[in-house]
C-alpha cells in the first residue's frame, strides 16, 4: 500500500536519509542545547552511518516481532483476556532483551507495566519512550482478516494493535537496537503500558512508585495519528476533559399530564432550559460566565501550523459521518478542535422513551455532559464555574462531577521541538506540522506532572490505519521512516555532552 510519502521501501538510496548521508557531512542540528565541551564524543552523521542498510535488513525481524505481538490478544477491556495481558508482558520482556536491553515487569493494582533499559552512564542524557501494548477489542465479523493474526499484504500489516500501538512500539525498539548495538552514549528507557485503552487507571500509581528509577530528560510518546498521510505531524497539546451529570428532581413518581400538567414542574423541560443557558445550541459558544477566561489565545503561527497539517474539511466530515458542521472554514474548524473548549450533551434521560407517546410528567431528569478544556483552563475551576452557575439559578438542580483531566501543552518551538522536527524531516523528507490533539491521553499528563520533562508526541499512525476500527493496519513505510526518526533523535541525544538542559 502506498501512503503517498514517496519514500519507497527503505532500500538504501531510496529515501532522503540516504541522500543526506551521501551528500552531506554536516553534523546533526545541535541548536537544542550548546555542548558543554568543545569536542562532542561523536557526530550524529557518523553515528547514523549504515542506518539505511540496517533499516532494510530489519524488515523481516520487525515483521516477526509484530506478528508475535499481534498474535497475543491483550484486550485490556476484557477481563477474560487477563492471561493474554500477562503473556503480552512476558513476551515484551523477551523482545526488549533480544534487542539488547534489560527488562522487567512492574506489577500494579491492575495490569503490569514493562520497563526496558539501556544504560550508558549517569552523566549521559536519558530518553523515555512510552507506548502501550494493550489493544481494543475486535469483532471477527467486521474484519476481512483474522484480527489477532498478523497478515501481511505488500507493505501493509493487518491486525488488531498493529498501529495502536504495537507497531510504533516495535518501530522505536528497532531504532533502539541500532543504538544499543553500537553502544551509543545515551540512556534509553522504554515504558510499555498495558491498560491505556481503559484509561490508564494505575499508571499514575506506577509512576509514583517507580519515580526514583524513572528520571529522564525527555519523554517521547508514539501513540498519535498524522492528520494527512503525506504530511508528518507532531502533537504538542491535548484538550482536557470534565465530565459531569446534572439532575433535576421535581417529584417522587410519574404523574398523568391530564391531571397535573400546568402546575406540575417538568424536569425534562427545565433541564433543556438549563442546558440552553450553558451553551448556545447553534454556535456551540459556552455561555457560562468566566468559563473561557483562562483560555490561552492561539497564535496565528499556531493556526498556520494546524492548517498546514493537511487538514481537509470534506475528508474530516466523511471520516466521521458528519452531514453538516457549525462552520466549514478550515481555519475555524481546526481552531475549534485543537484550541477551543466545548460544552457537550452526551445523553438525556428521564420520562417515557418507549413506542408511541405516554403522557407522563416525569419526576426526574438527568443530563450527561462534558466540557473539553484547553490550556490554561483548570478542570476543577471549570467544573466549579458550571456547577455554581447552574445551582444559583436552579436550586433544585444537582450537579455532580464524574471525572476531570487537565489539558496539556508541550513545546512547539525551542530545542525539544526542533530536535523532534529535525528527526521527522530526516526520516520522512518533510518538516512536520505542529498540531494539537482534540482528545486526551492520561499517561501524557501523568508523565508531564511527575517526570518534569518535556513530553513530545512523535506519532507514526496514519488516518487510514483505522485506530480502534475493524481492519486496523500499519505499514512498512511508516515503520521504516519511524526507525530512521527514532534513530535520529537518539543520535541527537548521544552526540550531546553532559545532561540535556531545561526546555526552552
Name the site residues for Zn ion (rule: CB under 5 A): 164-165, 223
Q: Which three cell numbers stand for residue 311?
A: 487538514
β partners of residue 247: 366, 398
* Residue 474 Cβ vs Zn ion, minimum distance, rounded to whole Å: 12
Could you tell me where the beta strands, DSSP code E, fall in 354-460?
360-361, 364-373, 397-405, 408-409, 433-437, 455-457
* Residue 355 Cβ vs Zn ion, minimum distance, rounded to whole Å: 41
Exposure string for 389-423, b = 16+ CB within 10 A, e = fewer:
bbeeebeebbbeeeebbbbbbbbbeebbbbbbbbb
Complex with Zn ion: residue 74 or 185, whichever CB lies closer:
74
In this structure, the strands spanning 187-193 and 113-118 are antiparallel
* Residue 131 Cβ vs Zn ion, minimum distance, rounded to whole Å: 8
Complex with Zn ion: residue 390 or 441, whichever CB lies closer:
441
**Sign of the torsion formed by the C-alpha atoms of 385, 446, 173 and 66:** negative
* Residue 196 Cβ vs Zn ion, minimum distance, rounded to whole Å: 6
Planar angle of CA 446, 169, 82, nearest 5 degrees: 75
Complex with Zn ion: residue 223 or 475, whichever CB lies closer:
223
Complex with Zn ion: residue 164 or 425, whichever CB lies closer:
164
* Residue 309 Cβ vs Zn ion, minimum distance, rounded to whole Å: 19
Complex with Zn ion: residue 117 or 223, whichever CB lies closer:
223
Complex with Zn ion: residue 195 or 340, whichever CB lies closer:
195
In this structure, the strands spanning 102-106 and 113-118 are antiparallel
How far is CA 298 from its chain centroid?
21
Complex with Zn ion: residue 170 or 361, whichever CB lies closer:
170
* Residue 465 Cβ vs Zn ion, minimum distance, rounded to whole Å: 11
Cα separation, 336 vs 323, whole angstroms? 18
* Residue 444 Cβ vs Zn ion, minimum distance, rounded to whole Å: 11
Cα separation, 357 vs 342, whole angstroms? 33
Nearest one of 161, 191, 188 to 177, comparing CA atoms? 188
Let me know: does 249 contact 398? Beta carbons within 8 Å: yes
Amino acid at each position: 500500500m502506498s501512503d503517498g510519502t514517496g519514500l519507497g521501501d527503505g532500500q538504501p538510496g531510496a529515501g532522503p536519509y540516504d541522500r543526506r548521508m551521501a551528500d552531506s557531512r554536516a553534523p546533526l542540528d545541535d541548536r537544542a542545547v550548546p555542548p558543554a565541551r568543545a569536542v562532542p564524543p561523536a557526530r550524529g552523521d557518523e553515528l547514523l552511518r549504515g542506518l539505511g542498510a540496517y533499516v532494510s535488513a530489519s524488515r523481516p525481524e520487525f515483521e516477526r516481532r509484530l506478528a508475535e505481538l499481534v498474535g497475543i490478544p491483550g484486550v485490556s477491556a476484557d477481563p477474560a483476556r487477563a492471561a493474554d495481558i500477562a503473556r503480552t508482558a512476558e513476551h515484551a520482556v523477551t523482545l526488549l532483551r533480544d534487542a539488547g536491553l534489560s527488562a522487567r515487569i512492574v506489577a500494579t493494582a491492575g495490569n503490569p507495566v514493562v520497563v526496558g533499559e539501556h544504560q550508558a552512564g549517569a552523566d549521559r542524557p536519558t530518553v523515555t519512550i512510552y507506548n502501550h501494548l494493550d489493544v481494543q477489542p475486535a469483532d471477527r465479523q467486521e474484519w476481512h482478516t483474522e484480527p489477532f493474526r498478523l497478515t501481511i499484504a505488500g507493505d501493509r500489516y493487518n491486525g488488531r494493535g498493529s498501529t495502536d500501538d504495537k507497531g510504533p512500539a516495535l518501530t522505536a525498539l528497532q531504532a533502539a537496537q541500532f543504538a544499543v548495538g553500537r553502544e551509543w552514549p545515551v540512556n534509553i528507557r522504554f515504558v510499555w503500558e498495558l491498560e491505556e485503552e481503559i484509561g490508564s487507571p494505575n499508571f499514575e500509581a506506577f509512576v509514583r512508585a517507580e519515580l526514583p528509577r524513572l528520571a529522564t530528560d525527555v519523554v517521547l510518546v508514539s501513540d498519535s495519528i498524522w492528520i494527512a498521510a503525506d504530511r508528518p505531524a507532531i502533537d504538542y497539546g491535548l484538550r482536557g476533559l470534565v465530565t459531569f451529570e446534572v439532575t433535576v428532581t421535581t417529584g417522587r413518581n410519574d404523574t398523568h399530564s391530564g391531571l397535573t400538567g400546568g402546575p406540575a414542574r417538568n424536569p425534562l423541560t427545565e433541564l433543556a432550559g438549563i442546558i440552553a443557558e450553558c451553551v448556545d445550541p447553534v454556535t456551540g459558544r459556552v455561555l457560562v460566565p468566566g468559563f473561557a477566561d483562562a483560555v490561552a489565545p492561539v497564535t496565528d503561527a499556531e493556526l498556520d501550523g494546524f492548517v498546514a497539517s493537511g487538514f481537509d474539511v470534506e475528508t474530516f466530515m466523511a471520516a466521521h459521518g458528519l452531514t453538516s458542521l457549525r462552520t466549514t472554514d478550515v481555519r475555524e474548524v481546526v481552531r475549534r478542535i485543537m484550541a477551543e473548549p466545548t460544552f457537550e450533551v452526551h445523553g438525556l434521560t428521564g420520562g417515557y422513551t418507549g413506542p408511541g407517546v405516554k403522557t407522563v410528567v416525569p419526576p426526574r431528569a438527568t443530563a450527561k455532559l462534558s466540557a473539553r478544556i484547553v490550556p490554561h483552563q483548570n478542570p476543577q475551576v471549570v467544573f466549579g464555574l458550571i456547577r455554581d452557575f447552574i445551582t444559583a439559578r436552579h436550586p433544585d438542580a444537582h450537579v455532580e462531577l464524574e471525572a476531570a483531566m487537565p489539558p496539556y501543552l508541550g513545546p512547539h518551538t525551542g530545542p525539544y521541538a526542533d530536535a523532534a522536527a529535525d528527526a521527522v524531516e530526516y526520516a520522512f523528507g518533510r518538516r512536520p506540522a505542529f498540531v494539537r490533539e482534540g482528545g486526551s491521553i492520561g499517561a501524557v499528563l501523568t508523565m508531564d506532572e511527575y517526570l518534569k520533562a518535556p513530553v513530545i508526541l512523535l506519532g507514526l499512525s496514519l488516518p487510514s490505519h483505522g485506530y480502534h476500527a475493524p481492519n486496523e493496519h500499519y505499514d512498512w513505510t511508516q515503520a521504516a521512516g519511524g526507525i530512521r526518526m527514532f534513530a535520529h533523535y537518539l543520535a541527537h541525544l548521544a552526540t550531546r555532552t553532559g545532561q540535556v538542559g531545561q526546555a526552552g
